[in-house]
Amino acid sequence: MIREDQHQLLNDKGYNASGLFRDLLDDYLSEHKVTISVSKETKEIYDMIISNTASTDEDLEKYLRKSLKDLLQEKIDYMMGIHKTL
């Protein structure tokens, strides 16, 4: 059970309580997790999508992998640029 004020705050933010609880339980029970710090805006977008679309972190993982690959390529390109100036 959650308190009425908690339920109201979730509703005010446009979040679905069961979606958020499902996500939190998955995080709590997972043997493999990554914790990252994000901006307030990114956290709000994440909460909105996860709570209202029945999406899971598993659904998000393929996009995270692509983003990590893109970040690595960006860093490689940067380092290659430094290398060329030497």
Q: List the chain domain ranges.
A: 1-55, 57-86
Note the pLDDT of residue 40: 96
Note the pLDDT of residue 60: 92
Sequential DSSP letters for 16-58? -HHHHHHHHHHHHH-SS-------HHHHHHHHHHHHHH---HH
Note the pLDDT of residue 30: 84
CB 51 within 8 A of CB 15: yes
- Over residues 62-75, the pLDDT tens digits come to 999 999 999 999 99
Mean pLDDT by 10-residue block, N- to C-terminus, for the chain (86 residues)? 88 85 84 88 92 88 96 97 96
| pTM across the whole model | 0.64
Note the pLDDT of residue 58: 87
